[in-house]
Chains A and B, each alone.
Chain A
Amino acid sequence: MGPTTNTRSPEADLIERLRSGDEATFVCLVNTHSASLKRLALAFVSTDAVAEEVVQETWLAVLTGITRFEGRSSVKTWIFKILTNRAKTRAIRERRTINFSELEDPREPNQPAVDPARFLPAAHPTHPGHWASPLEAWSASAEDAVVGREMMGVLRRELDRLPPAQRVVVALRDVHGWPAAEVCDVLGLSEANQRVLLHRGRSRLRGAMEAYFAENA
């Protein structure tokens, strides 16, 4: 059963080092999680500056709370829950409550993944619902070094333009590489709703890239 010399888990070790005031441990945690914390905060509050403040408040709450932390969840989950609570409080103060309902219930006006006009009508005699004309093939060149630089700029801008709930889900999944289960846990989303938001966000970004290639081909 486990290692013979040191049976303390890395997690317990982390908690202990933090409690003892180990600066390197704190700096490492801050460096590891602050970008995704800020991303999450931006789902609730309106500006970069307020998001920074919420992240900062979160880290201070981590310091004052670590002595009482009982380890019922992972340290990471605990930190992100603190952030979510603080960001929500802040959003209420900013009177920006719209995003919660959107997060909890992504049934915003149903936006198709692709404009229905791109497909043959349902009444078409031989190919209902098929592409009306072939797709412009750009998937192979999207990652060319030459295209790359400008493309990344377009992608970043379009990600920032997504509705907040779609934006935070796409960013945590695809920019920060979180597994679906963690995104659901931290945002309090069902797996199905998480997928709906991811699907809408990604579909919209694909559409934006398609438009970019149509203009720049």
Chain B
Amino acid sequence: MNDDTPREMACQELVDVITDYLEGTLPDPDCTRFEAHLATCPACQEYLEQMRALVRLTGRLTPKSLEPETVDSLLGAFRRWRDSRTGL
């Protein structure tokens, strides 16, 4: 056994470090192992594509905005604040 030979990445390890990989924070040696594994494993390729699809889909969710009444009430507060400052 040669200790310098990097251990092959198993699928179970890949799914644990996939966010580090996508965030670009996976250290170089692990990144190499990640990509070497990916090249030979269709299931992990699909897993990576699923994570990417998930991120794209999540990006299409509409943010929850304020209720219109809250916005109206804020605008009223703003005008009172402004008028109190200008002495109107």
Contact = CB atoms under 8 A, between A and B. Distances in A.
A86 B78 CA distance: 19
Interface residues of B, number: 47
Contacts of B86: 21
Contact of B66 (A38, A112, A203): A38
A35 B85 CA distance: 28
Given A21-B86, A56-B74, A131-B11, A195 B64 contact: no
A198 B19 contact: yes
A74 interface: no
Contacts of B63: 35-36, 39, 171, 175-176
Contacts of A60: 74, 77, 81
Contacts of B20: 195, 199
Contact of A202 (B49, B54, B78): B54
Of the four ranges (under 10, 10 to 19, 20 to 34, 35 or more), the interface on chain A belongs to 35 or more
Contacts of B41: 130-131
Interface string B48-88: 01111111111111011111001101110111011001100
Query: A27, A56, A130 — which one has the most chain B CB atoms within 10 A of its CB?
Result: A130
Contacts of A30: 66, 71, 74
Interface of A: 21, 23, 26-27, 30, 34-36, 38-39, 48, 52, 55-56, 59-60, 63-64, 112-114, 116, 119, 127-131, 134-135, 137-140, 142-143, 151-152, 155-156, 159, 170-171, 174-177, 180, 191, 195, 198-199, 202-203, 205-206, 209-210
Interface of B: 10-13, 15-16, 18-20, 23, 25, 41-44, 46-47, 49-61, 63-67, 70-71, 73-75, 77-79, 81-82, 85-86
